[in-house]
Amino acid sequence: MSPTKKKSAKKKPASLKTAPKGAIAKKKDAAKKKAAAKKKAAVKKKAAAKKKAAAKVKKAAAKMKAAEVQAKKNAAAAAKKAQALAAAEKAAAASLAKARAAELKKAEQARAVAQKKLERARAKVPPPAGP
């Protein structure tokens, strides 16, 4: 070895490396613990945010489903209303047709009665005397 080169430091045993060496070691340990706690808190915070986002998505999905169900109910009610209205219109049209038919029948009967009376009256009147 040359006299200018320094001797390499001997490796210390593992037990000595992990053993605390005073105030500096305590500060390092505290810093490590603080960093670990900070990391753990960040992970917890991230998990909570994920959970909150998932809950938001779930809530939105539930709202959408409820709206969809309500829309289906409204559509069914509207269809039922339209069907009832159509049935009422059909019944009214049938009633009007029936009334019109009865009216026509009465008019026909009245015409027939008048025709009969006219024929009877004509039969009673003697034919006009010719020149």
Name, in order, each residue with C-beta under 8 angstroms of 114's C-beta and a sequence gap of 6 or more. Answer: none
Q: Is residue 102 part of a domain?
A: no
Name the domain count of the chain: 1
Q: Is residue 18 part of a domain?
A: no
Q: Is residue 113 part of a domain?
A: no
Instruction: Indicate the average pLDDT of the chain.
Output: 88
pTM: 0.43
Range of the domain at 40: 25-95
Q: Is residue 127 part of a domain?
A: no
For residue 9, what pLDDT is reported?
Answer: 59
b/e sequence 84-122, b meaning 16+ C-beta within 10 Å: eeeeeeeeeeeeeeeeeeeeeeeeeeeeeeeeeeeeeee
Mean pLDDT over residues 46-53, rounded?
Answer: 96
pLDDT in tens, 8-44: 556 665 555 555 567 788 888 889 999 999 999 999 9
For residue 27, what pLDDT is reported?
Answer: 84
